[in-house]
Structure 1
Amino acid sequence: MPKILNVSSKDILHQVKIMCQTPSFLEAIATRKIITDAALEAGIEIKQEELQEAADNLRLANQLLKAEDTLAWLEKYYLSVDDFEELAQTNLVSAKLATHLFGDKVEQFFYENQLNYVGAATYEVILDDEGLALELFYALQEGEISFQEIARQYIQNPEIRRAGGYQGIKRRSDFRPEIAAAVFATNPPQLLQPIITAKGVHLIWVEEIIKPQLDEQLRGKILGDLFTAWLKQQLEQLEIVPQMDVNTNYPKEIIKLKSSQAA
């Protein structure tokens, strides 16, 4: 039979403090209050059927397909059924507030920033030796070897190796700036000359440049990005004052160290 360890709310708060997590917790609390106040000011209302759908979506997102799965999940995170409903409601209010604030601005933002949403399908091998990278580059140009053969020989990660170095479809922001500039200046299919970065020497095959389409997935991403930027702006304008005891009696050794550093 396991031993019982009782942990109080004071113990939990103290652990948060000594793990230096207080600022992130305060920011999360402030964010929730910003959303709640803004939604109230905007007159956003939640219907019961909307809340039920939000709760169902929350269960699906956490793969809680059965009632016992949900109960086990609640127990794991020390949540009540009311807490679960509050979590679903918070998610729903956030989504409705984002739509209220920026739903009619997504299309304009997309067209003004289309270049940021252009995609590229690429294959990549990162080498340690620039001379070897150049040798392989010229061998590829001459058709003496295939990119897949290079990937099988020089990529350590099994999944990427099996995929021949395929990196998926990435947008400009997913690449390092020096690589993005080269990738999106190509006329695919095209092999790039080796590019040196802090990670090594990149040998990249650009298979396709994909023009962006404002589908539901991208619309949701843009809406989320605009909402996140708005929240960040609201937080920057807010002074968070925690109502809690903070020990400022630092040891003399620390004070001396800070004084000597200032000098």
Structure 2
Amino acid sequence: MTETIQIGNRTITASELIPLLANYQMLPQLRRELIIDEAIEQISRSANAVVECTPEEVTQAQQQFFAEKQLNNEVDIQAWMAYQGLTPDQLEAVTTRKLKIEKFKQAVWGNKLESYFFQCKAKLDKVIYSLLRTQDVGIAQELYFRIQDQENSFAEVAREYSQGPEAQTGGLVGPIELNALHPVMVQMLSSSQPGQILPPARVAEWFVIVRLEKFIPAKLDEPMKVRLLNELFETWLQEQHKQIMSASTDEPPS
């Protein structure tokens, strides 16, 4: 017997599902979830890592899931299950999936976070700086000397002459991570001291005057740990996806 799904007046067979998923650009998401499931299953069989959930964790995960979906009572839950086409066993899998993925991340990369953090730290450090930019090198030189000679403050000159959005804040920018800046700006700010005004330099189409206001070192706190875990997880997922696509491309035609 061929399984089908009835949607409105259309009956969809199992053989039609893959083309439909491709048409609606849903195959990459399916592939992603299957890669994750297989990895969790593999690591759960390992003696060195466990991705199982305690009954208390399951209950907490379900309560959090229901709250996020605004399912306030059993009627809401049953209606949502019917809409999603879920059985009670599938409901538990869905509500604990996020928890299991987090446990998987910790099991695989938790002990690598510190070394990864120090590897990336130079890009994660933040700065607050003052910026003035113009496309006229002559004006940039004149404004630099006016600030140096204290004829005008940096903020005054930036408000009047800077040609970017920083003019609205008197030239003040940040806090911003160094990895979000142009490489030339990173070099300038990394090699200067707070309060030091750097002479005009060419950055892309601009001539810029920069003054470092504050350097804010990155810290391996809880939010940073979550961010780095997610980065490592997503990088791994991309690599897995590439390997699968490469393998499928290399397969000889049947």
Q: Same fold (TM over 0.5)?
A: yes
Match of 2:213 in 1: 207
* Alignment partners' CA distance in 2, 1:120 and 1:212: 10
Matching residue within 184, 188, 209 for 1:182: 188
Matching residue within 134, 142, 145 for 1:127: 134
Equivalent residue letter for 2:234? T
**Cα distance, 1:183 vs structure 2:** 0.9
Structure 2 unaligned segments of length 5 or more: list them: 1-7, 45-50, 249-254
Compared CA separation, residues 108 and 156, structure 1 to 2 (3 A):
closer
Contact 2:197 2:210 (C-alpha < 8 Å) held by counterparts: yes
| Identical amino acids, percent of aligned pairs | 22
Which whole-Å deviations, capped at 9, do the CAs of 1:225-257 have from their partners, x for residues lacking one?
22222112211211386xxxxxxxxxxxxxxxx
Contact 2:200 2:207 (C-alpha < 8 Å) held by counterparts: yes
**Cα distance, 1:161 vs structure 2:** 4.4
Q: Which has the higher contact order (CA 8 A, sep 6+)?
A: 1
RMSD of the TM alignment (CA)? 3.8
Match of 1:98 in 2: 105
Equivalent residue letter for 1:177? P
49-58 vs 206-215, greater mean Cα deviation: 49-58
Compared CA separation, residues 219 and 81, structure 1 to 2 (3 A):
farther
Match of 1:196 in 2: 202
* Alignment partners' CA distance in 1, 2:135 and 2:210: 14
* Alignment partners' CA distance in 1, 2:9 and 2:129: 51
* Alignment partners' CA distance in 2, 1:59 and 1:123: 46
Contact 1:51 1:89 (C-alpha < 8 Å) held by counterparts: yes
Match of 2:226 in 1: 220
Compared CA separation, residues 128 and 58, structure 1 to 2 (3 A):
farther
Match of 1:38 in 2: 39
* Alignment partners' CA distance in 2, 1:95 and 1:150: 49
Equivalent residue letter for 2:110? G
Contact 1:119 1:169 (C-alpha < 8 Å) held by counterparts: yes
* Alignment partners' CA distance in 2, 1:84 and 1:201: 58
Say if 2:236 is the partner of 1:230: yes
* Alignment partners' CA distance in 2, 1:180 and 1:59: 45
| Larger proportion of strand | 2
Structure 1 unaligned segments of length 5 or more: list them: 1-5, 242-263
Structure (1 or 2) with the larger CA radius of gyration: 2
Mapping of residues 1-263 of structure 1, within 5 Å: 17=23, 22=25, 25-43=26-44, 44-47=51-54, 49-51=56-58, 53-54=60-61, 80=84, 89-153=96-160, 154=162, 157=165, 160-239=166-245
**Cα distance, 1:56 vs structure 2:** 6.2
TM-score by length of 2: 0.68
Contact 1:188 1:207 (C-alpha < 8 Å) held by counterparts: yes
211-220 vs 190-199, greater mean Cα deviation: 190-199
TM-score by length of 1: 0.66
